[in-house]
Chain A
């Protein structure tokens, strides 16, 4: 389907800036109607067939540029429970990338260029959000060692304590991206999202952005979330234990009970940057603007800046020497 302007018939897209549906042609807000075709994979605007990947649920018609939403991929069983709207628009994203590049010494000069607009894709990435009740039973022997010297003798006192802890941790909304094309480590880094701004899924949010249905079901991703959670659980246990040099005979029982899973769409800007025949992806949190990505390195910059720094330091240090010698 496509959202069309009731006034002028133009394409209507979701605007992160105003938080409403805006007609791309006349700028009228919240004045849209749905245009549908029998075949969801035919553009309702121009009739050409939509070529999409297996998981895409929202895209642009390649023929006429209409913002297409593929109904079968946002309906049962793929209907998202929740969605967090984009709050950073394309121009904010470009500004954020500009600021980001300023801090990176070796990033190639054309990282910021005139074609960034075309290389930025706003994607609603499918995430599973897990709620877990975690019970922890922890028992260990805590060892305290104290040493002191008196005269020519060094004393070492070793004290042992039975350490027992029971914790209850309510994990809520623990995310794991359910998209094959988004790298897991990058999606983990782009967190966190403020779920306070998240609402029930509304298909209008997708208009003008890319989106995917989930590529994995919650059971497939559970081990990933549990592994991350286990680290957090250890950190919680450690935060309750202090004053010991080390622990012995640790017995730890962790019981994670999955309470709920929600399918949510979270906003990510994907900036594709080509450098020396390779494609680099930078991901922006569509809510906070946080940027993650492995920067390419410009060898000429590395050499040039290292030489500049070296020469400057040499002049400075030798100048200091000259001065100190004189004073």
Chain B
């Protein structure tokens, strides 16, 4: 019982330290960031909805259904997210846009279809000239196009400006993966994480950047707790503390004879089928990264 109590206290202390450090890290910024300097793109809203025209979509295919993306985030969630993104931007000096769409135009039918989304983002940035330091400056665009009709939604992360190098392809993919982990259940939380991760990578942290949803933490904790308790419940009446030598005079048996005589040997052989692994890979050298959820 004393050991158990000690364990609980130590775990709680370490857990609290983890929470404390992580909360403290959220406050870290990338040195001094000058004020936003852009008189071309002045709109303060960072969450944009690009909704397709229902009639137009149906004229292409009458079976197409448009997802109502406007309800993905509640008004309060939108407000909170906007505030959070603004905080992140101020820390790193970079505009962060979350664009939510439902256009069937972007729906992926093959890998190259990511290009459509990338091209759209490139054009949008060129046309509107967002950027923290200057028009067409430091921008990160996260474009999540929710399933229009196929059940396959796709998202694209595209950094521009001086921070573009800080988000290499594998980092972009890891951010997209971590968003897609639970974007279907908790879009607000997932997008907030996107903004946080982008910010952390730019500050120079986010080296490990491991992420798992809270449900996984709870499940692991539950499994460990139950297994531990079952083991405790199975404690037997006592350990056996005698062995084969306990009641033998001198603690040893007398070996009067011990022979191992070779009789025979035979060898068989068998041909092994070796399977060869298939090749794969490829990939494009694009400025952004895509993913699906």
Task: Write the residues of chain A forming the contact surface with B, with a CB cutoff of 8 angstroms.
Answer: 101-106, 141-142, 149, 152-175, 185-186, 188-192, 229, 231-232, 235-236, 239-240, 290-295, 297, 302, 305-327
Contact = CB atoms under 8 A, between A and B. Distances in A.
A212 B221 CA distance: 52
19 contacts: A104-B235, A105-B4, A149-B272, A153-B272, A157-B265, A161-B262, A168-B256, A185-B237, A190-B238, A192-B241, A309-B4, A314-B221, A316-B12, A319-B16, A319-B18, A319-B22, A325-B206, A326-B21, A327-B25
A232 B243 CA distance: 7
A313 B225 contact: yes
Categorize the interface residue count of chain B: 35 or more
A318 B19 CA distance: 8
Kindly list the 7 A-B residue pairs having the minimum CB-CB distance in the complex, ordered from nearest: A319-B18, A292-B238, A313-B221, A166-B257, A322-B22, A324-B210, A314-B221
Contacts of A163: 259-260
Question: B interface, by DSSP: helix, strand, loop or mixed?
Answer: mixed
Interface string B1-42: 111100010011011111101110110000000000000000
Interface string B184-209: 00000000010011001000011111
A159 B264 CA distance: 6
B109 interface: no
A323 B246 contact: no
Contacts of A297: 233
Nearest to A185: B237
Nearest to B263: A160
Contact of A312 (B15, B256, B265, B269): B15
Contact of B240 (A166, A189, A307): A189
A168 B15 contact: no
Interface in B197-234: 197, 200, 205-212, 214, 217-218, 220-222, 224-226, 228-229, 232-233
Contacts of A322: 18-19, 22-23
B235 A295 contact: yes
Contacts of B60: none
B18 A323 contact: yes
Contacts of B250: 170
Interface in B146-199: 193, 196-197
A141 B265 CA distance: 13
A263 B254 CA distance: 27
A171 B270 CA distance: 50
Interface of B: 1-4, 8, 11-12, 14-19, 21-23, 25-26, 193, 196-197, 200, 205-212, 214, 217-218, 220-222, 224-226, 228-229, 232-233, 235-244, 246-250, 253-272, 274
A162 B225 contact: no
A161 B261 CA distance: 5
A229 B26 CA distance: 68
A156 B265 CA distance: 10
Contact of B247 (A153, A157, A172, A305): A172
Contact of A315 (B15, B222, B267): B15
Nearest to A100: B238
Nearest to A303: B229
A191 B15 contact: no
Q: Please indicate which of the listed interface residues A159, A188, A324 has the most CB atoms of chain B within 10 Å of its own CB.
A: A324
A188 B239 CA distance: 10
B255 A165 contact: yes
Given A307-B225, A324-B209, 4 more contacts: A153-B272, A154-B272, A162-B259, A174-B247
A190 B22 CA distance: 52
Q: Max chain A CB contacts within 10 Å: which of B246, B248, B271?
A: B248
B272 A165 contact: no
Contacts of A319: 14-19, 22
B110 to A, nearest CB: 33
Contact of A186 (B237, B246, B260, B268): B237
Nearest to A186: B237
A154 B242 contact: no
Nearest to B262: A161
B246 A191 contact: yes
Contact of B229 (A170, A171, A305): A305
B258 A293 contact: no
A212 B4 CA distance: 41
Contacts of A152: 271-272, 274
Contacts of B239: 189
A188 B11 CA distance: 40
